[in-house]
Amino acid sequence: MNQMIPDFLLAQSTKGKTQGILKALVLNVDVEGFTALTQELMRHSQAGGKVIADTINSVFFPAMEATETKVGFLGRISGDTFTAVFPENQLIQTVSAAIAIRDTVMNHSRQTSAWGKFKLEARMGIGLGNVEWQIVKGRNQPRYWFSGDAVSEAKKAQTKANSNQIVASKVLCEESEAIVASDLDTDFQIVNELALPGSDRNQTMPVQESNTGQYHPGCGEFSEIQDMQERALGDKHPFALNVLNQLAEYHWEKGDRELALQYYQSAARKLKQISPPEYPYLSVSLCGIGHYYYDKADYENALEYYLCALLPENSPLELKYFYDLDALSQISSIYLKQGKRFEAMVFCNKELALISASVGGNHIANAGSLVNLGNIFLGMGKPQKAMKSLNKALKLRKAHLGDEHILTREVYELVLQIKAQMNCHKVAMNY
C-alpha cells in the first residue's frame, strides 16, 4: 500500500505524539525556470498543459523519487521547490540523492515548445541540525510541517548555489572522505561528486514510491490547466494522483468548492481504475467529495461517499487512524441529523475504538468523540449515559487543555444543562 505520510510520522502518531524535535539532514531543492515555463504555457490551453505535464513527469517526479530512499522522505513541496529529510548519519545517501536530482535536471534542462525555449536549473543546499516536526489533522487528510535549524541552514546553502550546484557547509563536507567538494567561501563548499569505493559516483539507494503528504502550489501554476492532470495521471503514478487531491484542497481553502469537487472527482475516477485501488489516496478523494455534499446539506450523497471513503478493514491501524476518523465522525453526525441515533452511536463507538487502539483511551483525541456520544445518548433520552460520556470528555480536556479552555468550558456547560434537566425531572416526580 502506498501511503502519503512518512513511516517516521506514522510511528510517532501511534505513540500519541503530534510534534517533536529530531536531529537530521535536510536537502532543499529549487528547480529554477519552471515557474517561467508554466506562466507562459498556461496561456496555450491543452497544448501548453501537455508540455507542462511532460516536464513534470520527466523532471519533477524522478527528482522527488530520488529523495525517497529507504532512509529519506519528502518534507515540503511548494511550487518548484521541495525539501527532503534524512537521518543525521546518512550524509552519503543525502548527497547521492542530490547528485541524482542534479543530473536529472541537467539531462532535461532544455525544454522546447512551439512557444519558445526554456531552461531549467537546479540549485540545492544541504543542512544539518535540529528539525522540528508537527502533525496537524486537516479537513481531508493530515498535514505535516518541518522547520528548525537544519531547514534554515539548507535554505541558506541553497541561496549560495549557482546553476546545477549543490552547496553544503564546509564542516559537513569534511565529515566524509567520499564527498568531493571545492571551496565556495570560508563557511560553505560546492559538492561535486561522490567517490565511493567499488561503485559508480552517482549510484543511489533503491527508491520507493513517493510518500509526500502535501502539495500546495502557492501561485496556482497548475490550477488552470484542465488537461494537465489527465496527462500526469497517464502512468497512474501515485504521487500524481495525490497532486490532484492537494489541488482540490487548495481550491477548497480558497473558497472555490466547485473546482475542488472537479479535482476530487478526477482523482477518484482514476484511482478506481487501478486494481487494487490506491488507498489511502482514494479515501482522501471520496472524503473530499463527501465534504462537498455535506456543506450543501445533501446528506444522502455525503453519507454514500463517506462510507466508501473508509479504508479496507485489513488496512494498517496507523493508516486507519489517520484517514478514517474524519469520515467516521461525519457519518455519525449525518445519522444524528437524520434521527437515526442507533446508527450514529454505532459509528461514534467505532471512532472511539479506533482512537483508543491507536493512541490510547486517555489521549485528548477521544474527547470530541465522547462529547458527540454524549449528545447521541441525550437525544435517545438517556441522560445518565450522556453524563457518563461527557464526564470522561471533561476529565480529558481538563487534563490536557485546562479548566479555562473554550473546549473545556463547552463540556462544562453541557454537563450543567443535563444536571439541571435531571434535577427538574426529579422535582416533578416528587411533586
Q: Among 53-62, 119-128, 209-218, 337-346, which range has the highest average pLDDT?
A: 337-346
Q: Where in the chain is the domain with CATH 1.25.40.10?
A: 310-430
User: How far from 213 is each of 5, 7, 106, 240, CA to CA, in Å?
Assistant: 5, 11, 27, 12
Helices H, strands E: what count in the chain? 17, 10
Q: Span 182-209, mean pLDDT?
A: 62
Q: Which ranges in 130-273 belong to alpha helices (H)?
A: 149-159, 170-173, 226-232, 238-254, 257-272
Task: Give yes or no for residue 143 having a pLDDT over 60.
Answer: yes
Q: Are 253 and 293 in contact (CB under 8 A)?
A: no
- CATH architecture group of domain 7-194: 2-Layer Sandwich (3.30)
Distance between CA 245 and CA 271 in Å, rounded? 11
94: how many CB neighbours lie within 10 A of its CB? 29
For residue 303, the model assigns a pLDDT of: 95
Q: Are 143 and 213 in contact (CB under 8 A)?
A: yes
For residue 293, the model assigns a pLDDT of: 94
Task: Give yes or no for residue 216 having a pLDDT over 60.
Answer: no
User: CA angle, corner 118, sides to 114 and 123, nearest 5?
Assistant: 160
Give the tens place of pLDDT for each residue, 290-313.
Answer: 999 999 999 999 999 999 999 888
Q: Which ranges in 68-210 belong to alpha helices (H)?
A: 91-107, 149-159, 170-173
Which helix (DSSP H) or strand (DSSP E) does residue 132 occupy? strand 121-137
More reliable by pLDDT, 13 or 93? 93
Q: Span 127-156, mean pLDDT?
A: 76
For residue 238, the model assigns a pLDDT of: 56
Of 373, 360, 364, the C-alpha closest to 401 is 364
Task: Give yes or no for residue 328 having a pLDDT over 60.
Answer: yes
State the distance between the two ends of the chain, measured CA to CA, in whole angstroms. 64
DSSP 197: T
Q: Are 55 and 34 in contact (CB under 8 A)?
A: yes
- Dihedral sign of CA atoms 68, 19, 358, 271 in order: negative
Q: Span 116-123, mean pLDDT?
A: 79
Fold of 310-430: 1.25.40
Q: Among 48-52, 252-256, 319-323, 377-381, which range has the highest average pLDDT?
A: 377-381
For residue 299, the model assigns a pLDDT of: 94
Q: Span 193-214, mean pLDDT?
A: 42
User: How far from 89 is each of 72, 86, 152, 176, 358, CA to CA, in Å?
Assistant: 11, 8, 19, 11, 30
The three cell numbers locating residue 201:
559516483
Distance between CA 54 and CA 56 in Å, rounded? 5
Distance between CA 70 and CA 63 in Å, rounded? 15
Buried b (16+ CB within 10 A) or exposed e, 216-248: ebeebbbbebeebbbbbbeeebbbbbbbbbbbb
- How many CA atoms are closer than 13 Å to the CA of 288, on its beta-carbon side? 33
pLDDT band for position 140 (50/70/90)?
low
Q: What is the pTM for the complete model shown?
A: 0.53
Of 74, 71, 61, the C-alpha closest to 31 is 61
Helix axes 257-272, 281-295, angle to 10 degrees: 140
Q: Which amino acid is at 59?
A: V
Task: Give yes or no for residue 18 having a pLDDT over 50.
Answer: yes
Distance between CA 192 and CA 123 in Å, rounded? 13
Distance between CA 306 and CA 288 in Å, rounded? 9
DSSP 165: E
Q: Any residues with CB less than 8 A from the CB of 7 and at least 6 apart, and which?
A: 73, 211
N residues, the chain: 431
| Average pLDDT taken over every residue of the chain | 75
For residue 196, the model assigns a pLDDT of: 57
- How many CA atoms are closer than 13 Å to the CA of 211, on its beta-carbon side? 24
For the ranges 21-35, 62-76, 203-217, 407-421, the lowest mean pLDDT is seen at: 203-217
The three cell numbers locating residue 99:
547528485
User: How far from 172 is each of 72, 76, 80, CA to CA, in Å?
Assistant: 18, 22, 26
For residue 280, the model assigns a pLDDT of: 75
For residue 392, the model assigns a pLDDT of: 92
Assign 133 to helix, strand or coil: strand
Task: Give yes or no for residue 337 having a pLDDT over 70.
Answer: yes
